[in-house]
Amino acid sequence: MNRSISTLAGTHRKLDGGVLFGHTPRLRWSQWMKPDQDNLVDVASRALLVRQNGQNILVVSGAEAILEAPRRTCRCQPPNVGLLDNLSSLGVSESEVHAVVLSHLQVPASDKLRKQVRDGDIPRVLFPNARYITGKRHWSRAKHPHPRDRNRFLGALLNQLDSSGRLTLIDGSTCDELGTGWHFHYSDGYTPGQLLPEILLPSGNVLFAGDLIPGTHWLNLDVNSANDRNPECVAGDKERLLDHLVANGGRLVFSMDPEVAMIKVMRDRHARYAPYDCYSSLNRFDY
């Protein structure tokens, strides 16, 4: 099967460093990512475009990526350069996306977006010709969330997905709509049932790590996020997947790392996981 991958940058984001790094001391994580005066750090919003047999398949972390970006309220504001713009730069229009794999359905919505939804101005869900693919168990969590993460799901978005007639829920390691060469892992650490797709390329597999391992610093098993629902499960799932990649010479794609898009993983002489063969971006990577 002819298949290649490219990375796509989404809308620029700033996140709270303390939330992003959980119990990791600020003295430590601020050496990795420099915070501003409000304790915010710059992160990527990276998606993966998989081209196979004439089809375009997007892999995204979180449902925020499939919401139309808010319009500018005045011309003095900088334009919102997002996922659709980056797709267009690769010669792919919104209507030419055949499937969207959602690792999870959380939306870290701003107060502005939540007010917009309350007022009935629901953002348009992108990719009208695509099937939306996510985990069956995670869909159940999204529809019936725990009080601790209820505010990270948007009911209006879930209703649009449900009524689209293009929602596919999977609970195994394969997906008929995507064909062979795709293998799905699951993690319950960040959010129950997070979907982690592994894609077969000629030189080895590539795993999209979603919010389980969003960047190089999270290769440390003791580094987690304050949003993780089960930190012990996060550490176990990371170790299992990283050992799998080390053993098979696979690669890891990061959703949030502002500098590194893809790596290979090795164990150093202290048995710690370490990145090598790093890429800052990918365009039709197929070897």
Better-predicted residue by pLDDT, 118 or 185? 185
Q: What global pTM score does this model have?
A: 0.93
270-283 confidence digits (pLDDT tens): 889 999 999 999 99
132-178 confidence digits (pLDDT tens): 999 999 999 999 999 988 889 988 899 999 999 999 999 999 999 99
Provide the pLDDT confidence category of residue 269 given band limits of 50, 70 and 90: confident
> How far is Cα 129 from Cα 141, in angstroms, rounded to an integer?
26
Please list, in sequence order, all residues whose beta carbon lies within 8 angstroms of the beta carbon of residue 248, skipping any fewer than 6 positions away: 204, 205
Provide the pLDDT confidence category of residue 43 given band limits of 50, 70 and 90: very high
CB-based burial of residue 40 (10 Å sphere; 0-12 exposed, 13-18 middle, 19+ buried)?
A: middle
pLDDT at 78: 59
Instruction: Break the chain into its structural domains and give their ranges.
Output: 3-279
pLDDT at 13: 84
SS3 120: coil
Average pLDDT for residues 199-218, to the nearest whole number? Answer: 94
Amino acid at 224: N
Please list, in sequence order, all residues whose beta carbon lies within 8 angstroms of the beta carbon of residue 36, skipping any fewer than 6 positions away: 14
Is-contact 141 191, C-beta < 8 A? yes
170-199 confidence digits (pLDDT tens): 999 999 999 999 999 999 999 999 999 999
Residue 41 has pLDDT above 70, yes or no: yes
For the chain, what percent of residues have pLDDT higher than 70? Answer: 93
67-78 confidence digits (pLDDT tens): 887 665 556 655
> How far is Cα 100 from Cα 48, in angstroms, rounded to an integer?
10
**Region 3-279: CATH code:** 3.60.15.10
Residue 287 has pLDDT above 70, yes or no: no
Please list, in sequence order, all residues whose beta carbon lies within 8 angstroms of the beta carbon of residue 157, skipping any fewer than 6 positions away: 63, 67, 105, 107, 122, 125
